Structures are given as structure tokens and as C-alpha cells.
Structure 1
């Protein structure tokens, strides 16, 4: 019995030695899927992913100022490439982990029609979207409104969030009747969670290619490399797809 206990203790010690932790900065739109993926990652590998979510632009500023992140999952393809160019990211590690979709959403069932005609009718008080300088989904919202020729007309109704999470919260709490948010925030397993929505056609905005990069602070961390490889795997991709992303 003592031998068995000693053997189990040794196995546990070996596992703890090989298990590691990785600090991951994640674009706010990817919050729900990354939490699921991180839990699966820990269960399958023993490594732990410590997730921080927020605006892509804000994270990049933090990374430039020395924040201890080891992996960066952005909401665009610009900043990971820039991180690599500026020596903040490891060369050759950038890849697209998801392609996001923009949606016009309301917490009220039946308010948003499936063609977005509510924007032309203007029968709402406030429209939320994320800061286009910090959040790619906010930029996509502006591009969509310009494509429709409605930006100037609807400008008095705008409520701007610091990131996509705040843009969603404005609508969820009723501070805005409708808002442009990430499809992943209101979509799961092939259907809308609640409310009403118009999935904006892809030709209305530039593709939201969400890229990942291994940051130099994680270059020697096996958990950082393992997390990025896990993100490319079938199990993680199934989770990503279930939230409405393409890849």
C-alpha cells in the first residue's frame, strides 16, 4: 500500500513539474469561447491558461508597455503582425484563429428585422457600438453604417462603448435599444440566444480576421506554445464554430 501511495505521489509530482501556466490576452468578443477552450485545455493537457479579456487596442498598448502576457488573441490581424514586426511577438507564430461576424442585436424579440431595415426607419432611441479605434467590431460597425449611407443620419443616436463588451451591455441593460456587437456574444450552437438580430452581410465591412501570436515573454513557456497548438486543434475549432465564427 505504501508503495502504491509513493508511486501515486511521484506521478503527481511529475505532472506538477510538467504542468505550466500561460497568461493570455484575449479580445473581448472571444470571451465565451476562450473560457470553454481554456477549461478543455487544462483538462486535456494539465496546463492552465489564465485569461484576461478586453479591447484589442488597449491590450496592445499594455503589451508595448511591458504587460506580462505571453499569448495575444486579437480581434484583428493588424496588431499581431505589428507585434511580430516590433519584436514583441515571436516571428512565424502569427495565425488566424477565427473570422468574426458583425450583428445588429436587440434584447427585445421582434425589434430587429432580419434585413436591418430598422436602421433606415430610425424607430429607435439609441444605437450602441464599440470604439472603432480600439475595437475592430466597432470599426466594422462604422464601415457598415457608411456602406448604408446612414452614419451621419444616425449619429445623434450613437452610444459608444469602450469595447465590444460594453457595447453589448448597453443593449442588454436597455441603455440602447439596438447595437452592433459580435455574433459570438449572442449566438451559440447555431442559434440566437435571445432577442432579435440581423447578421450583417460580410460585404458591408472588411473581414474581421482575428489573429493570434506567441509573445516574446512566452517564447520559453511550454504552456504558451501548447495553448496555441491546442487552439488549432479540432476540439477548439468545434467550440469556435459553435459561437458563429468562421476560420
Structure 2
């Protein structure tokens, strides 16, 4: 059984078809907001939403190999653009739905300073970050370290998560004392996350522009994507630490 099929079976039961079941591939950084969006959408419509979270790079590969997703909420613009240009996405459906922010975070109240100087002092054992080949937030973290002249210097201290969710867990559980995470992971409604942080200036990395595409031209998936990008969806995104177009 393909991995993506197992994920969908676990997430949504045995039924993988049905006009009112919307199968969504969602980037790991966005899954918290996506759950809220799905709940609100389901409450307002007759449709159900099945979410499968993972790195944008892994979802992209699954889509290329035939995974039956109907909507792709990515953490970058590159993969949706490729799907659009190759004809695998519904023409005209590609849209920017959020802009993410990168944060250097530690559960320790004193480890991370407001300008991220701790990276240069190397006063830590390990630095967690998402895999830059798979995760856009990992790519941004690599660019920050390169701009600071620290990428090679910290080679032995970098701990790679497959996605930003795994990276957050590395830091939260103490396997790494600090790491690059998504602002949305620290500012979700109802979540109290202490510690110390550095909100990374966007000048240090390429913008984390998150785009979405439809993978099928059907009314229910289209309605969900319109909800995500509409007024109600934008309020939810702001509440989760995202900037909106």
C-alpha cells in the first residue's frame, strides 16, 4: 500500500471517494490553522474535510505519484507553481493564501536574544531546523544561517526534522535546546508557549509565500479553497500568526 493511501485511510476512515469528502494535503506548519478552517467549513456546509499533513516536498512527490488529494495547501509557491505549469493543477486555481514567519525559539527564557546573536556565540549543543530540501521553513532557516555566515560553522550541531512539526517537537521535548520554527506554532489560539524567541527579519531569507492549488475541478474542493482565502479564513489565519494577502 502506498504511504499516502495509508495516511488517508487513517485520517478519514475507509471511504476515499464521495463528492462531499474533500481530501487536502496540508503543509505541517499550517495543520493547526487548517483544522480550525476545516471545522468551521464543515459546520457551515454539508461537506467533510480530510487533512493529511506533512512536508510540502513530500506531498508534492505524492501528488506526482498519483495521491488522490483534491486540494494542496503548500508552504511555498514553487511546488504549486510547478503543478500549475505542468497541467497537474486546475488552471487558474493557484492562489497565495498566507505568508509565514520564521522564528528562532527556545523553551528557555534566557537562551535566545532579540537579535539571534546566540547563533554566533554557539552557546548551545544542537540547533533544530526542518530539512531544507523538503520543507520551505527549512530552506528559509538555511538561508538565514548562510546570510549570517554560520551554515558550515554549525554543521555538527544541526538537527534536521523532516518537516516543521517534527522540528518543533525536537525543541519542545528538549532534544534540541533551540530551533527554527514557524511563528504559527507559537501563536495558535489557546496555546501558551513561553521561552525566548527571535522573530527572524524577512530580509534574511526569501519570503515564505504559501500557495494553494486545486487538483480537481469539483465544487466542494473549490468551495473549501474559497473559504480559506475568504474573509472568515483570513481572520483565522491572522489568529494563527500568519500574514494574509
Structure 2 length normalisation: TM-score? 0.89
Matched-pair contact (CA < 8 Å) for 2:227–2:233: yes
Q: Any idea what SS the aligned residue of 2:146 has?
A: helix
Residue 142 of structure 1 and its aligned partner are, at CA, apart by 0.4
Q: Structure 1 regions of 5+ residues with no counterpart? A: 1-17
Q: Which of the residues 217, 221, 224 maps onto 1:227?
A: 224
Tell me what 1:169 maps to: 169
Q: Any idea what SS the aligned residue of 1:152 has?
A: coil
Deviations 1:156-200 (A, max 9, x none): 111011111111111111110000011111113599722221110
Structure 1 length normalisation: TM-score? 0.88
Matched-pair contact (CA < 8 Å) for 1:106–1:179: yes
Higher helix share: 1
d(CA) in 2 for partners of 1:114, 1:191? 21
Point out the structure with max Rg over C-alpha: 1
Tell me what 1:21 maps to: 21
Residue 153 of structure 1 and its aligned partner are, at CA, apart by 1.4
d(CA) in 1 for partners of 2:188, 2:160? 25
Q: Structure 2 regions of 5+ residues with no counterpart? A: 1-17
Q: Any idea what SS the aligned residue of 1:153 has?
A: coil
d(CA) in 1 for partners of 2:105, 2:47? 36
Tell me what 1:196 maps to: 196
Equivalences for residues 1-247 of structure 1 within 5 A: 20-188=20-188, 193-215=193-215, 218-220=216-218, 222-247=219-244
CA RMSD of aligned residues (A): 1.7
Q: Any idea what SS the aligned residue of 2:179 has?
A: strand
Deviations 1:110-153 (A, max 9, x none): 22111111111111100010110110000000000011111111
